[in-house]
Amino acid sequence: MLNRLAMLTLCLTPWATWAKCGNSAILIDGLISGSPRGCTVSVQVEPDPNWNRQPEAVIDENGHFHATVYFDRTQPGRRERCSRKPRLIKVQLYRGSQLVGEIDLEAKRDLVSTGDVDYRVRSPITLNAH
């Protein structure tokens, strides 16, 4: 009984002093010009989003794609400071393992805020698969 009470107390204790900031979601929509067959869309965020790997974009049969990437707002070395923002988003189009197109999005110019911490592209982007 004492072990269960100790475990419950441990689980319910606030750990705010150790907590990281929440992540920002960056929503990217676009279109692949040319055949999307065999293509993948990769997205990288700078500065380093503190994630090992971002999820790949979902591409439909008409070449429209959507990607949601995440960015850790925690300032390096300052867990209580949540002011870190993305600077550059690199969107790359691959056919197999070959890079066939890419676009660099500047956060200040090409993204709009959707609430307190999330972003989306101002307008859908186009990647050429030719």
In the predicted structure, residue 2 carries a pLDDT above the cut 80: no
Flag whether 94 is in a domain. yes
Host domain of residue 50: 21-128
Flag whether 15 is in a domain. no
Flag whether 6 is in a domain. no
Flag whether 46 is in a domain. yes
In the predicted structure, residue 4 carries a pLDDT above the cut 60: no
Flag whether 93 is in a domain. yes
CATH, residue 76: 2.60.40.1120
The highest-confidence range among 11-25, 74-88, 109-123, by mean pLDDT, is: 109-123
- Domain count along the chain: 1
Flag whether 1 is in a domain. no
Q: Average pLDDT, stretch 108-123?
A: 91
Flag whether 13 is in a domain. no
In the predicted structure, residue 78 carries a pLDDT above the cut 80: no
Flag whether 8 is in a domain. no
Q: Average pLDDT, stretch 48-74?
A: 85
Rounded alpha-carbon distances, angstroms, from residue 4 to 7, 14, 18, 19: 5, 18, 23, 24
Rounded alpha-carbon distances, angstroms, from residue 71 to 11, 13, 53, 66: 27, 27, 11, 17
